[in-house]
Chains A and B, each alone.
Chain A
Amino acid sequence: MSYTSLQPIPQRHWWKLPAGRDEAIWITAAYGWCLVMLVVMVGWYFFGNQNQAGEAFRVTIDGFSNKVDEMIEEHQLKDTSGTLMSEGETEVPLVKVPPGSDYYMGAHQYSWGSIPVLELGQTYVFHLSSLDVDHGFSLLPIVLNLQLIPGYDYVLRFTPNKTGVYQITCNEYCGLGHHLMAGKLYVIDTAKNVILDGKGGITGMGS
């Protein structure tokens, strides 16, 4: 009864022939591993610290944009002389909201709108959205990537576990100036005097 995978099967009852021992071993091992992956994924949701399912709300672009403006208005940092702090040619504002409160990040072509200043170990409720087209929130160097979609408020609670100067790049193509869209984020620890050095870095980090 010789035939190949390119020829019809002559015997009718192939369905009743048992699988070989090799295949039985493999199916058991392979599906066993599949079930491990399933358990780990569900388990991580309940016991792990990194889950991006979060919450999401439909919003209007104008409504979200207003929230961003209000937040900047209220919480933009001031230096010792009382001047509002910002960075770069386009004067991107540095914003520090109280721990536990909302941070509105409204990405748009080709800017992140503000520079968050967060306290180590504190939890912030981030609202991530776009004011025009899809953008990709990519926080470096930890490589945390989230998709930003206009009309959707993606709500996630962030608790930074390391001080430093982080970068935010856009990793969803958003137009011909996509590669210009770089941002920044500071994690400081005021209690330990790890604070902004006023020159684009933080003290005690050498950068």
Chain B
Amino acid sequence: MKSLQEYFTCPDTGLKFHQPVIALAKANIIAAVVYLLAGGLLGIGVALTRWPAIHLLPSEYFYIFLTGHGAAVLLFWIHLFSCGIAYFFCTTPINARLATPKLAWVCFWMMVIGSAIATVMVLTGQATVMFSAYPPLKAHPLFYLGVILFAVGAVGTNFIILATIMKARSEKTYKGSMPLATFGVMTYAIIGIFTWVSGAIIMIPTWLWSMDLISNIDPQMYRLIFWGLAHSTQQMNIVIMITIWYTLAAVLFGARPLSEKVSRTAFVLYLFALQFGSAHHLLSDPGTSFAFRTFTTSYAAYLAVLGSLLHGLTVPGSIELAQRRLGLSHGLFEWLRKAPWANPIFSGLFLSLVIFGFLGGITGVTMSNQQINMIIHNTMYVPGHFHGTVAGGTTLAFFAFSYWLVPIITRRKLAYPKLAQYSIYLFGLGMATFSLFAMAAGHLGVPRRHWDITFADAVLPFQFPGTVQLLMGIAEAGVMVSGIGALFYLLSMFGTFVGKVVEKGAAQPLAEPAGVVAARMHGGTEPAHGKGLEVPGSLILAMVLLIFLAVYYYAQYKYLGTIWTIR
């Protein structure tokens, strides 16, 4: 038996890792973090240009930076990081070995090389077509080839994840049913397969077209299938982010779902209904019927929205239940007030949950309504929305998860824990500011992907009201704040990766454990457990979200009803 070398057991957490998973996770996370740095810098350039008072970059560079920012953070940072941690989720919790480590390395290098090729093409100005690359705008063939390589590498990792889980099942490496975290990542991998396959279906012909081997790519067909790739990659983010939420709640509080049935059903709803979200990008396009729009925009009668709303209760609910069991059960919100807010793992988890739900979630559901879509389509509202989901939600969750996982797999103490602590608040609040103010500017009609909203050189002059300049200024100032947060994260990660290896105590508690807090607060007295609700605090938070959504939704229709008649 070579199992002694094959596995590593963390002396701090007792978690058992298959050795290749550690190396793969590290490599994927390092590559991802490099793209966060690159994409972050490009994003700062974009923000300093869209900040009307600064307007830093010349137009050509602005469009290059914007294309690069989208590709580097939305595709490369998010998906390299996801792949790295997905290997952890499909092995350690179920005591499994990774199915084919060699193939996983091939996938990793395909993703790295593909993303590098695409990035170089963008930065050298040969693919200034935005992340979405809608034909007939044409980029250099190597740009498409880079994206294809990345997608093929990424779909490979999804198959490896599923193969690992199947092998673990047949080898009976665990008893009972698989953990919720592994169930989540299995959902992620299944969604991943049809996502990346959509990518291949549209990117391969587009690549051939860019080399003049195919004469025509139908621009509407491209948009339909491209969003099968680009929207669904965002659904993958959501699934892995929720998996992170449940996992961090488990490691911080020993939490488990209120009901396995409900939480898993929510994941299954994603599996069947999330993909319809792709059509949300076509709601103000010609070429689709009312019936198609209704079916897809409502995710087949809002099944995926229901999935998200379920997690919206059960994630905080699982924390609340665990905290109450540990003794923090006085009143409605003691479990939340006395939570370890100084611990970036917790603050990242909770801030990510709140920003995703209140900023990304509410606006996402509203804007994907087929008629409301036409008053926000392609305005600054859209970046405002998805910075609430992908940056304030997913990226923040990734920060929190890094602070937990990276010390464990590198066997090094988290470097600069203070910076880590601040990084969450700065990045989260900065992105929330950008999200809110960009959406406000969008409501006033500020276009996205636009170099100069003063239209200084346009044939027919146009000037937005002064409010718009102010809103854009505040939004971009928010980006600067979040940039400092991201810098703190990068410093902490860099310091950790180059730090000194420690035998034991790499994963140190970054705040007082919940049980200790409870004991200090109440001296071990057990409050009576009434017959009432299990998680009243979380239910109230969830209801507040629903009320916000209802009010916001009503306001949008109210405005829509005042504009021209369009039929």
- Please indicate the chain B residues that have their CB under 8 angstroms from the CB of A178 in the complex: 63, 449-451
Instruction: From known contacts A6-B93, A149-B285, infer whether A30 and B306 are also in contact, taking CB-CB under 8 Å.
Output: yes
Q: Are B379 and A48 in contact (CB under 8 A)?
A: no
Q: Are A14 and B261 in contact (CB under 8 A)?
A: yes
Encode A115-158 as 1/0 by CB contact (under 8 A) with B. Answer: 10000000100001000111010101111111101111111111
A206 close to chain B: CB less than 8 A:
no
Q: Are B314 and A23 in contact (CB under 8 A)?
A: yes
23 A-B pairs within 8 Å (CB atoms) are namely: A5-B255, A6-B251, A14-B261, A20-B534, A23-B258, A23-B310, A23-B314, A26-B313, A30-B313, A30-B546, A34-B305, A37-B369, A42-B294, A48-B371, A50-B564, A138-B379, A144-B564, A150-B219, A156-B566, A158-B564, A160-B564, A173-B63, A178-B451
Encode B536-552 as 1/0 by CB contact (under 8 A) with A. Answer: 10110011001001100
Q: How far is the CA of A157 from the CA of B566 in the complex (A)?
A: 6
Q: Are B298 and A41 in contact (CB under 8 A)?
A: yes
Tell me the smallest distance from the CB of A148 to a CB of chain B, in Å. 8
- Please indicate the chain B residues that have their CB under 8 angstroms from the CB of A19 in the complex: 258-259, 261-262
B462 close to chain A: CB less than 8 A:
yes
Q: How far is the CA of A20 from the CA of B220 in the complex (A)?
A: 46
Encode A12-25 as 1/0 by CB contact (under 8 A) with B. Answer: 10110111111101
Of listed A128, A158, A175, A178, residue having the most chain B CB within 10 A: A178
Encode A75-111 as 1/0 by CB contact (under 8 A) with B. Answer: 0000000000001111010000000000000000001
Q: How far is the CA of A19 from the CA of B287 in the complex (A)?
A: 43
Residue of A nearest to B448 (CB): A171
Tell me the smallest distance from the CB of B455 to a CB of chain A, in Å. 5
Q: Are B566 and A134 in contact (CB under 8 A)?
A: no
B223 close to chain A: CB less than 8 A:
yes
Q: How far is the CA of A6 from the CA of B178 in the complex (A)?
A: 9
Q: Name B462's contact: one of A37, A134, A155, A169 (CB within 8 Å).
A: A169
Instruction: From known contacts A17-B259, A26-B310, A145-B378, infer whether A50 and B371 are also in contact, taking CB-CB under 8 Å.
Output: yes
Instruction: From known contacts A151-B218, A159-B565, infer whether A92 and B460 are also in contact, taking CB-CB under 8 Å.
Output: yes
A69 close to chain B: CB less than 8 A:
no
Q: Are B284 and A145 in contact (CB under 8 A)?
A: yes
Q: How far is the CA of A149 from the CA of B285 in the complex (A)?
A: 8
Tell me the smallest distance from the CB of A203 to a CB of chain B, in Å. 20
| A-B contact sample (19 more), CB < 8 A, given A38-B302, A171-B378 | A6-B180, A8-B178, A17-B261, A19-B262, A22-B538, A36-B550, A42-B294, A51-B371, A52-B566, A54-B567, A56-B286, A111-B459, A143-B375, A143-B443, A145-B377, A147-B377, A171-B449, A172-B134, A182-B459
A9 close to chain B: CB less than 8 A:
yes
- Please indicate the chain B residues that have their CB under 8 angstroms from the CB of A205 in the complex: none
- Interface residues, chain A, with chain B CB atoms under 8 Å away: 2-12, 14-15, 17-23, 25-27, 29-31, 33-38, 40-42, 44-45, 48-54, 56, 87-90, 92, 111, 115, 123, 128, 132-134, 136, 138, 140-147, 149-162, 167, 169-176, 178-184
Residue of A nearest to B184 (CB): A5
Q: How far is the CA of A81 from the CA of B298 in the complex (A)?
A: 56
Q: How far is the CA of A162 from the CA of B563 in the complex (A)?
A: 9
Residue of B nearest to A176 (CB): B60
Q: Are B370 and A53 in contact (CB under 8 A)?
A: yes
- Please indicate the chain B residues that have their CB under 8 angstroms from the CB of A3 in the complex: 179, 256
- Interface residues, chain B, with chain A CB atoms under 8 Å away: 59-60, 63, 93-94, 128-130, 134-137, 174-181, 218-220, 223, 246-247, 249-251, 254-262, 282-290, 293-294, 297-298, 301-302, 305-306, 309-310, 313-314, 317-318, 365, 369-371, 373-379, 443-445, 447-453, 455, 457-462, 533-536, 538-539, 542-543, 546, 549-550, 553, 557, 560-561, 563-567
Q: Name B566's contact: one of A27, A30, A50 (CB within 8 Å).
A: A50
Q: How far is the CA of A17 from the CA of B256 in the complex (A)?
A: 15
Interface residue SS majority, chain A: mixed
Q: How far is the CA of A3 from the CA of B379 in the complex (A)?
A: 46
Q: Are B176 and A15 in contact (CB under 8 A)?
A: no
Tell me the smallest distance from the CB of B465 to a CB of chain A, in Å. 8
Q: How far is the CA of A25 from the CA of B276 in the complex (A)?
A: 27
Q: Are B376 and A145 in contact (CB under 8 A)?
A: yes
- Please indicate the chain B residues that have their CB under 8 angstroms from the CB of A88 in the complex: 459-460
Tell me the smallest distance from the CB of A121 to a CB of chain B, in Å. 9
Instruction: From known contacts A9-B176, A144-B375, A170-B447, infer whether A33 and B550 are also in contact, taking CB-CB under 8 Å.
Output: yes
Q: Are A50 and B294 in contact (CB under 8 A)?
A: no
Residue of A nearest to B370 (CB): A41
- Please indicate the chain B residues that have their CB under 8 angstroms from the CB of A136 in the complex: 377-378, 447
Q: Name B293's contact: one of A29, A53, A161, A175 (CB within 8 Å).
A: A53
- Please indicate the chain A residues that have their CB under 8 angstroms from the CB of B128 in the complex: 176
Q: How far is the CA of A202 from the CA of B176 in the complex (A)?
A: 75
- Please indicate the chain B residues that have their CB under 8 angstroms from the CB of A89 in the complex: 459
Of listed A30, A134, A149, A154, residue having the most chain B CB within 10 A: A30
- Please indicate the chain B residues that have their CB under 8 angstroms from the CB of A147 in the complex: 282, 284-286, 377-378
Q: Are A9 and B543 in contact (CB under 8 A)?
A: no
Q: Are B256 and A157 in contact (CB under 8 A)?
A: no
Q: Name B287's contact: one of A128, A152, A184 (CB within 8 Å).
A: A152
Q: Are A134 and B137 in contact (CB under 8 A)?
A: yes
Q: Are A87 and B460 in contact (CB under 8 A)?
A: yes
Instruction: From known contacts A37-B553, A173-B63, infer whether A52 and B371 are also in contact, taking CB-CB under 8 Å.
Output: yes
Instruction: From known contacts A22-B535, A53-B293, infer whether A37 and B180 are also in contact, taking CB-CB under 8 Å.
Output: no
Q: Name B286's contact: one of A21, A31, A154, A162 (CB within 8 Å).
A: A154
